[in-house]
Every structure is written in C-alpha cells, then in structure tokens.
C-alpha cells in the first residue's frame, strides 16, 4: 500500500496533500492514476454481455484463453460490437454455464490489478454502465444456487486432489488451478466443463470412492 501510495497518489484538490483517506477528489484521482498505470485504455470497454450458442464448449471460459472478437463471433457468440474485431477478449461465466456470460477485455484486467477479484471487477464494470444509462444484465442469474462456504471450498480442493487432479494448494480460494481441476473432473463426468464450483459438484466428489 505504501509503495502504491508513493507511486500513484494524486493531490487532485490542490491543497498540497495527497489525502486519499479524507479527500474524495484525491481518492478518485489516485484510483484513476493507478488504473491508467495498470493498462487502462481510455475509450475502450471493459467487456460486454454475450449470448452463447447451443452446444458451446464451456471449457473456453478460461481467463488464460484470449481470442480476437472476430474469432468469438465465429464460434457463435452474439451480442458483440461490430467494431474492434482484432481486440482480444476472454470469456467469463461468473455463475457457471447456467448464468450470464461476458467477454472481458484489457480494461477488465486493469481493474483486477487494482483489486484481484472477478466479482469486484464485474461489479465495477456493470455499475459504470448503469451510470451511463445502460440496462441490467439480460440473462438470469441462478438464484437457487447456494455458494460454497470456505470450508466447503477447502473440502472441494482436497477431494479433487484425492481424485488425482491438481487444484493447487488447498486454501479455499477458487483460482485458475482449481478451476482447471474442476473442468477436468466435469469433463470426466460428461458435464458442461465451465470450471464453476457448485454444491452439486461437491456432492459428486463426496460420492467418489
């Protein structure tokens, strides 16, 4: 925090102090400076909601997979802008294949450098669109799905490891390694391989010998 403050804090209100704690102007300008240094591209979107075709390969919903928008369009995604065909994007399924789908771009990754949480970055992106007059997310969220608790996430990781998959260290954090292990287990079961941790998935792991 101290290093980030020294590098990115801004005295936007001109009072001679970079007071990110008590000056909203300094706090907002400093956050903007941090985002700019993290690769924020002015005039470009953070991402956008898309619709997926029937039979889509949900294993492509992986933050390490980046494709030009033209390629995503070729794969059957709809809702993409008609410009920026060469811009790269990754597919995000924040609630798994049963929920909304988003293509995320470089500005989304810049937000992640500020706060490394996809839920946070998505909330910021959607909120900014509401300020600009955009509507709500079109697709429905799976309201009945109960998120895993931290102890259940730890159990999920341990059981994946016991089945020969590699979720990384059992820390209760569903990161890239855990999602990759989930996809592998889902593919083994013949389920949609979206990498999303669910109660249903944990129950299936509990049933394994």
What's the pTM value of the predicted model, to 2 decimals? 0.89
pLDDT for 146-164, tens place per residue?
A: 999 999 999 999 999 999 9
CA 52 to chain centre: 17
**Per-residue pLDDT band at 1 (split at 50, 70, 90):** low
Q: Please answer whether residues 49 and 79 qualify as being in contact, where contact means their C-beta atoms are separated by less than 8 angstroms.
A: yes
CATH 1.10.101 residue ranges for the chain: 150-206
What's the confidence (pLDDT) of residue 82? 83
What's the confidence (pLDDT) of residue 2? 66
**Per-residue pLDDT band at 84 (split at 50, 70, 90):** confident
CATH topology of domain 150-206: Muramoyl-pentapeptide Carboxypeptidase; domain 1 (1.10.101)
What's the confidence (pLDDT) of residue 182? 98
pLDDT of 65 strictly over 70: yes
**Per-residue pLDDT band at 64 (split at 50, 70, 90):** very high
**Per-residue pLDDT band at 91 (split at 50, 70, 90):** very high
pLDDT for 16-43, tens place per residue?
A: 899 899 999 999 998 889 888 888 999 8
Please name every residue paired with 89 in a beta bridge, in sequence order, or none if there are none: 67
**Per-residue pLDDT band at 7 (split at 50, 70, 90):** confident
Pick the CATH number of 47-131 from 3.40.50.300, 3.90.1150.10, 1.10.530.10, 3.40.640.10: 1.10.530.10
Nearest to 18 by CA among 7, 29, 26: 26
Q: Please answer whether residues 72 and 91 qualify as being in contact, where contact means their C-beta atoms are separated by less than 8 angstroms.
A: yes
pLDDT for 96-123, tens place per residue?
A: 999 999 999 999 999 999 899 999 999 9
Helix residue ranges per DSSP H, 40-117: 69-74, 106-114
CATH 1.10.530.10 residue ranges for the chain: 47-131
């Amino acid at each position: 925090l101290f290093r980030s403050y020294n590098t990115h804090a801004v005295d936007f209100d001109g009072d001679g102090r970079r007071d990110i704690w008590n000056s909203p102007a300094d706090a907002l300008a400093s956050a903007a400076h941090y985002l700019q240094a993290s690769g924020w591209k002015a005039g470009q979107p953070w991402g956008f909601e898309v619709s997926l075709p029937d039979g889509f390969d949900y294993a492509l919903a992986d933050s390490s997979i980046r494709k030009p928008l033209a390629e995503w369009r070729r794969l059957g995604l709809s809702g993409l802008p008609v410009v920026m065909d060469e811009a790269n994007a990754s597919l995000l399924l924040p609630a798994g294949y049963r929920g909304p789908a988003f293509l995320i771009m470089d500005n989304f990754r810049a937000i992640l450098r500020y706060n490394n949480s996809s839920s946070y970055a998505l909330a910021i992106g959607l909120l900014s669109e509401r300020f600009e007059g955009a509507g709500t997310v079109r697709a429905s969220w799976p309201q009945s799905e109960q998120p895993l608790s931290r102890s259940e996430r730890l159990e999920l990781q341990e059981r994946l490891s016991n089945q020969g998959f590699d979720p990384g260290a059992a820390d209760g954090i569903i990161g890239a390694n855990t999602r990759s292990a989930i996809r592998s287990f889902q593919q083994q079961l013949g389920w949609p391989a979206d990498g999303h941790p669910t109660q249903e998935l944990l129950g299936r792991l509990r049933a394994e010998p």
